[in-house]
Structure 1
Amino acid sequence: MNTLTTATARTRRIADLPHPKGLPLIGNAHQLKPDRLHLILERWAQELGVPYRLQICGRPVVVTTDAELAQRMARERPHRYRRMRQLESVLEEIGCNGLFSAEGVAWEPNRRLVMQALSMPHIKAFFPTLNAITGRLRVRLARAASEGRTLDMTQELKRYTVDVTSALAFGEDPHTLEQERGVIQEHLALIMPMLMRRINAPFPYWRYVRLPQDRQVDRALVEIHRYVRRMMQRAREHMRDDPRETPRHLLEAMLTMCDAPGSSVTEDQVAANVLTLLLAGEDTTANALSWALFYVATDRALQQRLARHARRVLGESAVCPDFEWLKHFDLFEAVCTEAGRLRPVASISSFEPLEDVQLDNLFVPAGTTIFFVHRPAMLDPRHFANPERFDPDRWLHPRDAGGPHEPRACMLFGAGPRVCPGRYLAGVEMRLVLSMLLAGFEVELTVDPASIEEVTAFAMVPNVMPLRLRPRA
């Protein structure tokens, strides 16, 4: 029997799976702390084996760490699987139900548009702007280094990624790197933790009672939506004053689609996609870079190796000046990939079958939530040699790994038709930022590495990443 087929035989049911002990009525809801969710699910996978099940107020959840199974489910989206419905519902409430959470016929036209905007040819054409923004980040870091200040590097990198995403996708650079307060990134930073709380809440309390943290998010959303609508208005004015046959950026393309006769795309859908891209572009790449710097800062030999490599390629340049030079920085992206293997920013993926399915010998009814927990597969010695060791060279010379090397188990950008459209941009940002940073600065972590905790805030993020930079001689 195919591992992933419409159910024809019923060998095991979800109720037969092992499960952590819970309480009557609420099941395991009280044990699922939103900010530690990925750690809790990983621990139960070790204790119970996989697949196992949870019970959240009468709702069953199947949990697996099988990367091959996750690959197959990802390939069968969106016609057989979708993301969990709670995600779409919560994002719809805040006006952010864009490409990431859209399903069915609403997904495909948005997907084509965004994939084109974030394609490698478009990013190559955008490279001079990317270079300039990276140079501005360097100026900001150099100022902090000269003043001896400790930086929360995750927040610094989020400023950078907001500026990059806005300039590329919307034709506007908010210059958050040149400001200290009142930047859009401060409001965006509140959204991901809120999504994590609400998606995993057993009861939608916020629809009836607004807690202080909900009121804070409400205020942030007002500012974010005001920012998005102003950006859309300026784009329309630009299109009117300087009409072009070909849109200059993604926002103009979306507005053109919205204005086409008979179009089903609305202004609200355009705004939702703008907000989706802002959130995705700001959060995931910044945190991936932050985790990479964690390993660089705690490995002096690796840091020196990266610095020598960057200086050899860059020569007198502070920032990579030419798109073609990026091919010399494979090692820097390998550092980020290896950091992502050990500290996956996307630590949990959700699937929901649109019809009854058979997963191996497990019958799963339509509408059941399935969690795929990413890290265990990437720490499995059947997939990677010496899986606990941080070794970026495994991605450069897989044949020399001295054991297995299964890149399909490392789903950092997802898989299947809904693979992350921003993966090319993320790779370019990783190469640009790390090469600039290591060529010009020594990087030191100012706290005990063991004190840095993993937090589930939709993405898996460090609770803090305090780094001190010193100009490199």
Structure 2
Amino acid sequence: MVSVEFRFPRQVTHETRGWLMSATSSCRTHYRQVADLPCPKGLPFLGNLHQLSPTKLHLVLEHWAEELGSPFRFQICRMPVTVWTDPELCQTIMRERPHRYRRYASMESVLAEIGCNGLFSAEGAAWEPQRRLIMQALSIPHVKAFYPSLKAITERLYLRWQRAAAQGTIVEMTEDLKRYTVDVTSSLAFGEDPRTLEMNRGVIQEHLALIFPMLMNRINAPFPYWRYVRLPRDRRLDSALLEVHRYVRDMMRRARERMRDDPSDSPRHLLEAMLALRDAPGSGVTDDQVAANVLTLLLAGEDTTANSVAWTLLYIAADPDLQQRLFETARGVLGSARVCPEYSSLKELDLFEAVCTETGRLRPVAAVNSFEPLEDVCLSDIMLPAGTKMFFLNRPATLDERNFSHPEQFDPDRWLHEPGHRRETHEPRAYLQFGAGPRVCPGRHLASVEMRLVLSMLIANFSVRMAVDPDTIKEVTAFTMVPSAMPVHLSTRQQSGNRVLSGVA
């Protein structure tokens, strides 16, 4: 894997110094109230609600942060939301979870309503036992043992792309990559391979795709309108959830049948482990909780890794020299194989993960983290009552030259430890795509493996060029930050030769 060192910054920021000097919820010096923070001009009663386009939320907040500084606040009617950009402060809060901070309370209630209140949103005592199970299922030994299946799924993705290249059809990369990640997640965690890569229509992703955008709308809504009025988009979500929950419950039923017909001394995958825990005397775990974690993993596995890989194509397609370098690296590892043949060989593909990491610095899929304190706290000189809404923006710190030299440049080498490469300023603690603290993303190793495996297969076998003007591809807030589209033309290496062809169709 890419080597990322973690160290305390050379200089403690003003906000972090304030927190370190305040171990209790009171400040020894004069402090400001939330109402004292700068705020963009809004309207009476509505506040800034009319300015918060759900699909552009992260862009609006980043613009205000540039204009007002950090921290600032905005208003959703009478509710203030504070916005921060200090990554060290965000690290501190993440380390203080779950006993001093939590995610938005509204996030937990909205996810509970749709039957998806699993590990991601669980708080308090409900979090720890779920975390142990999922960490075990996504551990390095389990992913390593799963590699033959992972390789076979990647071969199917290769065949899908080979057909598209032969036919000259445009590939919508976000859709294909989501099929891939759902097949991987289902096979690894639930013991079932839905083989969506071999289908054209009627796949579970068609229903999953509706959930994240609606979650974004509901979590940030000033009041739960959907409990009183069902708009057309709410009815579409209801229909999608009906299909998704039927899919999850059928998977649980089949897993129980396999456990009954072919008993094993130990669970063979995460779903069996969760069902075994649910059936243990006095566990307190319900079928609904098992189903919520299945749905959580489907959504998380489908969305974040797929979009992270998709964003890389903007940079790879625009840089023929980088694409050639990636090709030579991939072929040096894969030899004549279409897919990386061994798990042990993945460690030689650092450059591919470095490309994904650098892409995530400039195009963060996790653009915003949201928290609220469980008790009154003082951060810097600002008093935050319990329950105060807090947004942390991830991109401003990664574009700050105090953290990264030449931050506007796309430079994957800044993440590699290669002789002769001068890294200058490089503060990896400012990069928070996988979170930090006790609730750091449990799927980060699987994501690393998928990134290396898919991109090396892609570049070893195909040249890539965008099918549209890259400037027409927009950033969209849909819970995570996703591309509006990622259409590409693929050409097999036999067609285009070993030298990469690039450009816009």
Give the residue type in structure 2 aligned to 1:356: D
What RMSD in Å do the two structures reach over aligned CA positions?
1.0
1:69-96 superposed Cα distances (whole Å, 9 cap, x missing partner): 0000000000000000111111011000
1:346-425 superposed matches below 5 A: 346-397=366-417, 400-425=421-446
1:133-172 superposed matches below 5 A: 133-172=153-192
Q: Distance in 2 between matches of 1:48 and 1:312?
A: 49
Q: Distance in 2 between matches of 1:421 and 1:181?
A: 31
Structure 2 segments unaligned to the other structure (5+ residues): 1-17, 495-505
Among candidates 459, 472, 487, match of residue 466 of structure 1: 487
1:4·1:72 contact (CA, 8 Å) conserved in 2?
Answer: no
The answer for the alignment partner of 1:441 in structure 2 is 462
The answer for the alignment partner of 1:8 in structure 2 is 26
Q: Distance in 1 between matches of 2:279 and 2:402?
A: 53
1:200-219 superposed Cα distances (whole Å, 9 cap, x missing partner): 11121111111111111111
Among candidates 472, 477, 493, match of residue 456 of structure 1: 477
Deviation of the 1:3 alpha carbon? 5.0
Q: Does 1:29 align with 2:49?
A: yes
Q: Distance in 1 between matches of 2:460 and 2:73?
A: 48
1:95-135 superposed Cα distances (whole Å, 9 cap, x missing partner): 00000000000000000000000000100000000000000
The answer for the alignment partner of 2:6 in structure 1 is none
1:144-185 superposed Cα distances (whole Å, 9 cap, x missing partner): 000000011011100000000000000001010000000001
Give the residue type in structure 2 aligned to 1:407: P
Please identify, of 107-116 and 4-13, the stretch whose mean Cα deviation from structure 2 is larger: 4-13
Deviation of the 1:340 alpha carbon? 0.3
Among candidates 89, 93, 96, match of residue 73 of structure 1: 93
1:3·1:358 contact (CA, 8 Å) conserved in 2?
Answer: no
TM-score (norm 1): 0.99
1:181-330 superposed matches below 5 A: 181-330=201-350
Q: Distance in 1 between matches of 2:493 and 2:181?
A: 24
Give the residue type in structure 1 aligned to 2:164: A
Q: Distance in 2 between matches of 1:402 and 1:292?
A: 21
1:310-363 superposed Cα distances (whole Å, 9 cap, x missing partner): 011111110011000000000000000000000000000011100011111111
Q: Distance in 2 between matches of 1:57 and 1:150?
A: 45
Q: Distance in 1 between matches of 2:58 and 2:167?
A: 38
Q: Distance in 1 between matches of 2:164 and 2:184?
A: 21
Which secondary structure state, in structure 2, belongs to the residue aligned with residue 63 of structure 1?
Answer: strand
Among candidates 354, 373, 378, match of residue 334 of structure 1: 354
1:3·1:359 contact (CA, 8 Å) conserved in 2?
Answer: no
1:74·1:417 contact (CA, 8 Å) conserved in 2?
Answer: yes
Q: Distance in 2 between matches of 1:143 and 1:430?
A: 22
Give the residue type in structure 2 aligned to 1:148: G
1:5-32 superposed Cα distances (whole Å, 9 cap, x missing partner): 3322251111111010111112111111
Q: Distance in 1 between matches of 2:417 and 2:136?
A: 31
Specify whether residues 3 and 166 from structure 1 end up closer, same or farther in structure 2 by C-alpha distance, changes over 3 A only.
farther
Give the residue type in structure 2 aligned to 1:92: A
Q: What fraction of aligned residue pairs are identical, expressed as a percent?
A: 67
Deviation of the 1:400 alpha carbon? 3.5
Q: Does 1:44 align with 2:64?
A: yes
Give the residue type in structure 1 aligned to 2:172: D
Q: Distance in 2 between matches of 1:11 and 1:211?
A: 44
Give the residue type in structure 2 aligned to 1:71: Q
1:223-271 superposed Cα distances (whole Å, 9 cap, x missing partner): 0000000000000000000111110000000000000001111000000
Give the residue type in structure 1 aligned to 2:65: A
Give the residue type in structure 2 aligned to 1:316: S
Aligned length: 473
The answer for the alignment partner of 2:14 in structure 1 is none
The answer for the alignment partner of 1:130 in structure 2 is 150
Deviation of the 1:4 alpha carbon? 5.5
Give the residue type in structure 1 aligned to 2:320: R
Specify whether residues 369 and 309 from structure 1 end up closer, same or farther in structure 2 by C-alpha distance, changes over 3 A only.
same
Which secondary structure state, in structure 1, belongs to the residue aligned with residue 23 of structure 2?
Answer: strand
Please identify, of 400-409 and 256-265, the stretch whose mean Cα deviation from structure 2 is larger: 400-409
1:20·1:44 contact (CA, 8 Å) conserved in 2?
Answer: yes
Q: Distance in 1 between matches of 2:314 and 2:61?
A: 24
Give the residue type in structure 1 aligned to 2:240: A
1:333·1:430 contact (CA, 8 Å) conserved in 2?
Answer: yes
Which secondary structure state, in structure 1, belongs to the residue aligned with residue 476 of structure 2?
Answer: strand
Please identify, of 24-33 and 66-75, the stretch whose mean Cα deviation from structure 2 is larger: 24-33
Which secondary structure state, in structure 2, belongs to the residue aligned with residue 5 of structure 1?
Answer: coil
Q: Distance in 1 between matches of 2:144 and 2:83?
A: 40
Q: Distance in 2 between matches of 1:416 and 1:4?
A: 20
Which secondary structure state, in structure 2, belongs to the residue aligned with residue 350 of structure 1?
Answer: strand
Q: Distance in 2 between matches of 1:275 and 1:310?
A: 34
Which secondary structure state, in structure 2, belongs to the residue aligned with residue 6 of structure 1?
Answer: coil
Please identify, of 230-239 and 290-299, the stretch whose mean Cα deviation from structure 2 is larger: 290-299
1:435-458 superposed Cα distances (whole Å, 9 cap, x missing partner): 000000000101111111000000
Q: Distance in 2 between matches of 1:35 and 1:13?
A: 30
Give the residue type in structure 2 aligned to 1:345: V
Which secondary structure state, in structure 1, belongs to the residue aligned with residue 490 of structure 2?
Answer: strand
Q: Does 1:178 align with 2:198?
A: yes
Among candidates 133, 139, 152, match of residue 113 of structure 1: 133
Which secondary structure state, in structure 1, belongs to the residue aligned with residue 146 of structure 2?
Answer: helix
Please identify, of 324-333 and 17-26, the stretch whose mean Cα deviation from structure 2 is larger: 17-26
TM-score (norm 2): 0.92
